[in-house]
Structure 1
């Protein structure tokens, strides 16, 4: 069979600055599962074609036109691009299959455009799909997430296609995606992994991948895609520490502060960890991830900042992840506490996320039951700076004004100077400058939205949940985001079907 695998990483670049960022950075976001699907199909003797789309080039020409089956993986933000391309391949006679985060979150909506929706997969299920063992119109899943992660050596054709640059050569930002575990032990109600089962993958597979990288791609950055890296810390780090010091590749992880306690930050340094991105989330909730017991408010801020200071002594680059707009947020306190953290830990760049109700999460179910999801909002806007829900304790104008306050504080000249004084790494200083510029652009976006909320009653009514008519602003922006593919999706097709799956997913025969 002729099998295509397409990993959608970002929307079409519309500005010169987008072109540069998406070529250098977004290109490195390639996911592991699409690469695994390509390897599994190749093992079975199928002719495979793998490509990533990071916003540059002609999406519908990334793969051959005469495919028997096409697998597409995407995030919710770019799902409309996936829908448009699926229409093109369906018209050409290919069987269309969607997987990835969006398929897990909104399978019913996906079935409007794809023959099959895959929530979890393994090699046997993928072979069943390729050989036509499932009827169109089904949501299918393996019994559990796969643990047969193809080795880096097996994935090298896909890694070269996705992460290498001119003439398939590495460049300084080339990154190799890897996994040491699947699932997550935490139950954060906004996360699509909230009900996943945590499983540590075999240590010998991790060791084999590290050996291969050290021999064939020395010094290449490794990005671990684990939802929460090294929950079984000693087991993982015995493998990392098994590499000779001069051969250890730099690596990036997401982990919780609970895991990174005690003497463990020193072991991060010893194994060449380049970046850590812990999730703090909230000053009033999710404290089990922060390792502060029942502490909240100022006490939690100070303890978390102290913990980040310990990490900063051992890891060159830190990112702190926050949510603002949760039901526990009220008044100015969350803003002032986050600003306090920025002041105490300027070396940790903050990301401040707007809550997004991804399907299948407790957050989505609660907001849907309360009628607080803006059901007419296209999936293209399920990311910052857009608001797709009504916030419990803030009106839209008040919420965006507080976001402006947070982002302005994070991007102020004084804060940038303080950040630059915390590092001697030129590359990290450049990242601080670039991310600060991006925050300032976000402030302008927030201010534009506030201006429309104040001047356009219909725009305000939509965001307050009093109107279900999608404002013209979003219609026009959705057209521009789809670019040449806008004509393939009607306005009705861009309106999400947020229905939950009516029945449990079909299971594979395995």
Structure 2
């Protein structure tokens, strides 16, 4: 069979700044599961075509037209592009299959556009799809996420296609995706991995991949896609440390502060970890991940800032992930505490996320029960700077005013100067400048939305949940996001089906 695998990483780029970011950064976000599917299909003797779409060019031209089956992976923000492409493939008689975060979160909506919707998958499930074992209109899933991750050597055709430039060789920012573990021991209500049990993948496989990279791609950056890296810290770091010092590739991880306690940051330095991105989330909640017990408020800020200071002595680049707009957030305190953290740790880049009610999470269930999801807001806007829920303690105008204040503090000239003084690393200094510029672009978006909230009563009524009529602003912006594919999706196609209960009889 002729099998296509398309990993959609971003909507079409708009403007020179987005083009540059997509080419240098987004290109490196390719997922491991689409690459694994490509390998599994190739093992079975099928003619396999794999591509990633990161916002440049025409996604429909990345794969041959005469496929038998196409697998498309995407996250929610780009799901409408996936839907439009699925229509084109179905018209051509191609069997369409969707997987990835969006399919896991909103499987019922996906059924309107794809023949099959996949939750968890493994090689056996993919084999069954290719053998025609599942009826069109089915939602199917493996019993659990796969453990047998194909080796880097097996994935090299996919890695070259996704991460290398012109498919030839890696450049400075080229990244090899890897997994050391699956799942997470924490149960954050907003996270799609909240109920996925943590388990370490075979350390021998990771060691084999590291040896391969040392021989064939020395010095190439590794990005570990683990939801929470090295929960079993010593077992994972022993594998990394077994590599000779001159053959340890640079690597990036996301991990909880509770994992990175004591002398462990020193082992990160010894094994060539170049970036860590812990989730702090909130100053009033999720404290079990931060290792601060029941501390909150200023005490938690200072405790976490001290922890990041110790990390900075061993890891060149740090990022702290925050959520603003949780039900525990109210008043000025969340903004003031986050600004205090920024002032104490200018060497840490703060990402400030807007809570999104992704399906399959306790957050989605709670907001649905409370009637607080804007049910006609298209999936294209399930990412910052857009608000798709009503908040418990902030009206929309107040929320965007405070969000603008947070971003303005993070992107101020004074803060940029402090960040630049905190490092002599040329690349990190460049990243600080680039991310500051991106934050300033976000501020412009927040102010645009704030202006409409203040000046347009219908726009405000929509965001306060008093009407379900989608503002023209979002209709027009959705068309711009889709570009020439906008004509393939009607207004009705873009109204999300947030139903979580699967159709009876589906797999």
Coarse TM-score class (shorter-chain normalised)? over 0.9
Q: How does 1:396-415 map to 2 (within 5 A)?
A: 396-415=396-415
What SS does the corresponding residue of 2:153 show, helix, strand or coil? Answer: coil
What SS does the corresponding residue of 2:154 show, helix, strand or coil? Answer: coil
Alpha-carbon distance in structure 1 between the residues aligned to 2:302 and 2:348: 14
Q: How does 1:31-70 map to 2 (within 5 A)?
A: 31-70=31-70
Equivalent residue number for residue 22 of structure 2: 22
Q: How does 1:128-277 map to 2 (within 5 A)?
A: 128-277=128-277
Alpha-carbon distance in structure 2 between the residues aligned to 1:94 and 1:44: 19
- Does the CA-based 8 Å contact 1:37-1:126 persist in structure 2? yes
- Does the CA-based 8 Å contact 2:160-2:167 persist in structure 1? no
- Does the CA-based 8 Å contact 2:71-2:98 persist in structure 1? yes
Normalised by the length of structure 1, the TM-score is 0.99
Equivalent residue number for residue 434 of structure 1: 434
What SS does the corresponding residue of 2:48 show, helix, strand or coil? Answer: strand
**C-alpha displacement of 1:326:** 0.2
Alpha-carbon distance in structure 1 between the residues aligned to 2:505 and 2:106: 13
**C-alpha displacement of 1:503:** 5.8
Alpha-carbon distance in structure 2 between the residues aligned to 1:36 and 1:228: 20
Alpha-carbon distance in structure 2 between the residues aligned to 1:198 and 1:2: 35
Does the C-alpha gap of structure 1 residues 15 and 505 become closer, same or farther in structure 2, counting only changes over 3 Å? farther
CA offsets 1:88-133 (integer angstroms, 9 cap, x no match): 0001111100000000000000000000000000101000001110
- Is the deviation greater in 254-263 or in 441-450? 441-450
Alpha-carbon distance in structure 1 between the residues aligned to 2:444 and 2:2: 47
What SS does the corresponding residue of 1:177 show, helix, strand or coil? Answer: strand
**C-alpha displacement of 1:58:** 0.7
Alpha-carbon distance in structure 2 between the residues aligned to 1:304 and 1:34: 36
**C-alpha displacement of 1:500:** 1.2
Equivalent residue number for residue 378 of structure 2: 378
Alpha-carbon distance in structure 1 between the residues aligned to 2:205 and 2:384: 37
CA offsets 1:274-305 (integer angstroms, 9 cap, x no match): 00000000000000000001100000000000
Alpha-carbon distance in structure 1 between the residues aligned to 2:285 and 2:475: 36
Does the C-alpha gap of structure 1 residues 167 and 189 become closer, same or farther in structure 2, counting only changes over 3 Å? closer
Alpha-carbon distance in structure 1 between the residues aligned to 2:288 and 2:22: 35
Equivalent residue number for residue 360 of structure 1: 360
Query: How well do the aligned residues superpose, as a CA RMSD in angstroms?
Result: 0.9
Query: Number of matched residues?
Result: 507
**C-alpha displacement of 1:448:** 0.6
Matched, 1:484 2:477: no
**C-alpha displacement of 1:501:** 2.1
- Does the CA-based 8 Å contact 2:137-2:506 persist in structure 1? no
**C-alpha displacement of 1:240:** 0.3
- Does the CA-based 8 Å contact 1:220-1:249 persist in structure 2? yes
Alpha-carbon distance in structure 2 between the residues aligned to 1:112 and 1:219: 45
**C-alpha displacement of 1:168:** 1.9
Matched, 1:105 2:110: no
Matched, 1:470 2:446: no
CA offsets 1:171-214 (integer angstroms, 9 cap, x no match): 11100000000111110000000011111000100000000000
- Does the CA-based 8 Å contact 1:50-1:158 persist in structure 2? yes
What SS does the corresponding residue of 1:301 show, helix, strand or coil? Answer: helix
Does the C-alpha gap of structure 1 residues 213 and 452 become closer, same or farther in structure 2, counting only changes over 3 Å? same
Equivalent residue number for residue 336 of structure 1: 336
- Does the CA-based 8 Å contact 2:4-2:69 persist in structure 1? yes
- Does the CA-based 8 Å contact 1:248-1:272 persist in structure 2? yes
Q: How does 1:8-19 map to 2 (within 5 A)?
A: 8-19=8-19
Alpha-carbon distance in structure 1 between the residues aligned to 2:299 and 2:435: 28
CA offsets 1:354-400 (integer angstroms, 9 cap, x no match): 00000010000000111100001000000000000001100000000
- Does the CA-based 8 Å contact 2:190-2:362 persist in structure 1? yes
Alpha-carbon distance in structure 2 between the residues aligned to 1:129 and 1:436: 45
**C-alpha displacement of 1:166:** 2.6
Alpha-carbon distance in structure 2 between the residues aligned to 1:252 and 1:208: 19
Equivalent residue number for residue 314 of structure 1: 314
**C-alpha displacement of 1:506:** 5.3
**C-alpha displacement of 1:170:** 1.4
Q: Which runs of 5 or more residues in structure 1 are unaligned? A: none
Equivalent residue number for residue 75 of structure 2: 75
Alpha-carbon distance in structure 1 between the residues aligned to 2:91 and 2:378: 24
**C-alpha displacement of 1:14:** 1.2
CA offsets 1:224-280 (integer angstroms, 9 cap, x no match): 000000000000000000001111000000000000000000000000000000000
